[in-house]
Structure 1
Amino acid sequence: MTDQEALASVLDAVRDAVPTLRANGAEAEERRWIPDENIQLLDKAGVFRAAVPAAHGGLDLGVADQFKVIAEVARGCPSTGWLTMVWLTSTWCASLYPERAQREVFAGGSTRVSIVFAPTGTLAPVDGGYRLNGTWRYNSGVLGADWDLLAAMVERPDGTTEELVALVPVSELEVTDDWHVSAGAATGSCTTTAQDVFVPAHRVVSLEEAMVSATGDRENTGATGRNYGLLGYVLSGVTAAFTGIARGAYELFLERLPGRGITYTDWTDQKLHPLTQIQVATAANRIDAAEGLADLCLEVLQTRADAGEQPTDEEKAVIRGRTAYAAQLAKEAVELLYAASGGSVIRREVALQRFHRDIQGFSLHALVQRDANLEVQGRVLVGMDPGTYFL
């Protein structure tokens, strides 16, 4: 099966699952975690093999194809789309670990990995590895993950510190049921704690090296077409979730439109009103523009990876700005459609209100803060340095 045949198979199965994902939305929010049915449908579709290297039985899809998969899932359910983004991008991150670790993580060819970038733990060197202690909040997807990537600080003998990322089985961690939120409720982004967990050396890498796919002791180095710039790759997945949510909201708006009047006016069919037509066109163009910006980023990431290179710092800075602005455009499209939906849209059984709340919540994530990311992009556009190492 070629890459495109594999992609088509996954996308067809996900499209078939979209009605079920939408139907399960209210239940997912109520229980603060997506139903098992959602995971089973995506697993059967091959979604969780998308980022697994071919050498370990995965589909090994490129970043642009992964974007399509994430967006399609998000079109059905925002929280499930967000989780898919986390699981796929984190699974790719696991491919940066030594071969021994990869064999452990990818043993079944399908896996789910979560990640927390904030280094709120510590690693203490011991014989054969490290002892991990710490607490990590906002651990999206940990409730359904097999493995967890946790950033932590280690103190070296000379007194300097370094940020490392430990790869840990979720079964060795304590997960606290503390996710009570108004947006993204079904992501189950619970607090996770490690208490003196032993992590073997082959399951720990330097964040600095991982950021540029420069980790060693693995066979998949070089111009494989999959050694992306880490942050740009993750941000592309985030953007996929946003554009998918916006596409779903657009479809839900159009589904509710036929026969809807405009209360306290003579308009008996909202779609006949010129303002509604302008609003629909504006929303559609914002979504298309968001996808267009994302395509520019995806092209840079793939071109560099095919050549065995990393994007330049300037390119990375532009990717940060473009992905954040794409997310903003997607959010604005949903806001516009929500505002044009009348008072009944606030009812819990109307799925559009959940799409609206979820995209609002996701837009507060530090990775997609519009102004912070546009500042980074703007600095390089005017000839300055990016002002941050986090590229």
Structure 2
Amino acid sequence: MLWAPNHFEGCPMSDTCDAAETNELDPDVLSDPRHPVRRIREAVQALAPLVAAHRGEFDGGRRLPDVVFVALAEAGLFRLWLPHALGGPELSPFDFMRVVEDASALDGSVGWLVGNGGGMSRLGGYLGRAVASEWFSDPRAFVASATGAVGTARVVRGGYRVSGRWPFGSGAHHATRFMVLTSVRPEDPVSPLICCYLDRTDVTILDNWHVSGLRGTGSCDFDARDVFVPAAHAHSFLGLQPTQPGRLYRMPPSSVFAWSISGVPLGIASGAIAGFAELACRNGRQGSRASLRDRETVQATVGRARAKLRAARAFIVDAMNELMAAAETEGDRLTEARADVRIANANAAEAAMSIADELAASAGSVAIFETCALERAVRDVRAAAKHVAMSPNNYVTSGRLTLGLDPGAARF
């Protein structure tokens, strides 16, 4: 059964894999307007005119315009992993990736915030029900997360006193909560890390997001000074004890975190292919009367782009299927599955960059203008690929394990 509403419990792995590798939804789903995946993907497509109308504001404002952010929130795109018990769709990893791809095909910054915001709604599976319900009673709830630095958490009665500065707070200007990594013993490199959730009023946003790509994400640094965080608003980073039964919340958190944005480069590449196809139908290269699409070299470039995209997606799907199968176990199988998810992410980013670059080269000089979708795709996909979840260092981790060494990564 493809795209089953109950994506994990009792759903055979082979069925899940089939759903992920199918471009079109199952006919039963198409006839069911209540199906969450169908509704969410249709909602993303419905946002295309709004995104196009305001895209010019993304770079200048270095954040999404309020009207675009509100539309994404009202479409439910920041609640994708909210548990069923809290009124969320609790999408499977594969459904989630497809939604992120769809959003990223519209615009890289939009997809990045859908991946981050929708991914962070999984906190409902780790915090107490009353806390999560209160936070997500706001239809515009958005949790910005930052794992690129570690702050300090001083134990006090009833919770912690948290201080620090954290980078890459994607969506910071619109966030209602901020998740930060902290350590009770920062002088100890192996001290357990704690996720603490700060209220918007507890942080100061630093306006330093001056970058080449993904400009509309507003991924600014932010800091907090001696903020009290109740114990109910915190949980461990790696040794999580889920409060909800879904398998998603029992999977390795670092792998799920990486998966939440893995669809972004794939979606940007998909959008680049579509944009190039439209361009190729009406434009020719200078000195030639023929349209780009009539050139055999261009046809071959597009064919290779499609092959790279589908191969990269298939690898990610295969890696996640294995991780899901291994998540209930310990030992070598789970370790290898986690490493494979990492290299699948790195491979997807490299494939997406290659696709965008080759299409831009085929388009010629038009691809350097900001009015060309390929110009934005090239810089957005390169910015996305700089994220640690897609780092080439992931190949090192996988290689070390294959060669019988330890992972060589502190947070692995």
TM over 0.5: yes
In 2, distance between residues paired with 1:107 and 1:362?
A: 31
Q: Which residue of 2 aligns with 1:99?
A: 129
Residue 166 of structure 1 aligns to which amino acid in structure 2? C
Q: Which residue of 2 aligns with 1:387?
A: 408
Q: Deviations over 1:102-132 (max 9, x none)?
A: 2333334663111111333211111111111
Q: Which residue of 2 aligns with 1:205?
A: 235
In 2, distance between residues paired with 1:315 and 1:224?
A: 16
Bigger drift between 35-44 and 242-251 goes to: 35-44
* Matched residue count: 381
Q: Does 1:153 align with 2:183?
A: yes
Q: Does 1:243 align with 2:266?
A: yes
Residue 255 of structure 2 aligns to which amino acid in structure 1? G
Q: Which residue of 1 aligns with 2:241?
A: 215
In 2, distance between residues paired with 1:194 and 1:85?
A: 25
Q: Which residue of 1 aligns with 2:52?
A: 22
Relative to structure 1, the CA distance from residue 281 to residue 162 in structure 2 (aligned partners, 3 Å threshold; closer, same or farther) is: same
Q: Offset at 1:150?
A: 0.3
Residue 266 of structure 2 aligns to which amino acid in structure 1? T
Q: Which residue of 2 aligns with 1:363?
A: 385
- Equivalent residue runs for 1:61-80 within 5 Å: 61-80=91-110
In 1, distance between residues paired with 2:341 and 2:202?
A: 36
Q: Which residue of 2 aligns with 1:117?
A: 147
Q: Which residue of 2 aligns with 1:229?
A: 252
SS at match of 1:178: coil
In 1, distance between residues paired with 2:406 and 2:225?
A: 40
Residue 257 of structure 1 aligns to which amino acid in structure 2? A
Q: Offset at 1:225?
A: 4.8
Q: Offset at 1:23?
A: 3.5
In 2, distance between residues paired with 1:157 and 1:336?
A: 47
Q: Does 1:42 align with 2:68?
A: no
Q: Does 1:298 align with 2:320?
A: yes
Q: Which residue of 2 aligns with 1:130?
A: 160
Relative to structure 1, the CA distance from residue 62 to residue 109 in structure 2 (aligned partners, 3 Å threshold; closer, same or farther) is: farther
Q: Is the 8 A contact 1:14 1:73 kept in 2?
A: yes
Q: Which residue of 2 aligns with 1:344?
A: 366
Percent of pairs identical after alignment?
Answer: 26
SS at match of 2:371: coil
Relative to structure 1, the CA distance from residue 203 to residue 283 in structure 2 (aligned partners, 3 Å threshold; closer, same or farther) is: same
Q: Offset at 1:359?
A: 0.8
From 263, 281, 295, the counterpart of 2:303: 281
Residue 190 of structure 1 aligns to which amino acid in structure 2? C
From 181, 196, 203, the counterpart of 1:166: 196
Residue 374 of structure 1 aligns to which amino acid in structure 2? Y
SS at match of 2:192: strand
Relative to structure 1, the CA distance from residue 226 to residue 64 in structure 2 (aligned partners, 3 Å threshold; closer, same or farther) is: farther
Q: Deviations over 1:200-259 (max 9, x none)?
A: 0111222231xxxx326x3x14x6454222122122222211111111111111111123
Q: Offset at 1:25?
A: 1.9
What TM-score do you get using the length of structure 2 for normalisation? Answer: 0.86
Q: Offset at 1:101?
A: 3.2
Q: Is the 8 A contact 2:59 2:216 kept in 1?
A: yes
Q: Offset at 1:44?
A: 2.9
Q: Offset at 1:379?
A: 2.3
In 2, distance between residues paired with 1:109 and 1:224?
A: 25
Q: Does 1:194 align with 2:217?
A: no
Q: Is the 8 A contact 2:147 2:166 kept in 1?
A: no
Q: Is the 8 A contact 1:122 1:133 kept in 2?
A: yes
Q: Is the 8 A contact 1:236 1:297 kept in 2?
A: no
In 2, distance between residues paired with 1:158 and 1:329?
A: 38
Relative to structure 1, the CA distance from residue 361 to residue 313 in structure 2 (aligned partners, 3 Å threshold; closer, same or farther) is: same
Q: Offset at 1:173?
A: 1.0
Q: Is the 8 A contact 2:181 2:194 kept in 1?
A: yes
Q: Offset at 1:158?
A: 11
In 2, distance between residues paired with 1:252 and 1:341?
A: 11
Give the superposed CA RMSD. 2.5
SS at match of 2:221: strand
Q: Is the 8 A contact 1:156 1:162 kept in 2?
A: no
Relative to structure 1, the CA distance from residue 16 to residue 308 in structure 2 (aligned partners, 3 Å threshold; closer, same or farther) is: farther
Residue 230 of structure 1 aligns to which amino acid in structure 2? P
Q: Deviations over 1:263-293 (max 9, x none)?
A: 13x4522222111111111111111111111
Q: Is the 8 A contact 2:397 2:407 kept in 1?
A: yes
Q: Is the 8 A contact 1:252 1:351 kept in 2?
A: yes
What TM-score do you get using the length of structure 1 for normalisation? Answer: 0.90
In 1, distance between residues paired with 2:85 and 2:410?
A: 32
In 2, distance between residues paired with 1:66 and 1:78?
A: 16
Residue 280 of structure 2 aligns to which amino acid in structure 1? L
In 2, distance between residues paired with 1:189 and 1:100?
A: 29
Q: Offset at 1:198?
A: 0.6
Q: Which residue of 1 aligns with 2:357?
A: 335
Q: Deviations over 1:172-193 (max 9, x none)?
A: 2111222111111111011111
Q: Is the 8 A contact 1:253 1:337 kept in 2?
A: yes
Residue 212 of structure 2 aligns to which amino acid in structure 1? S
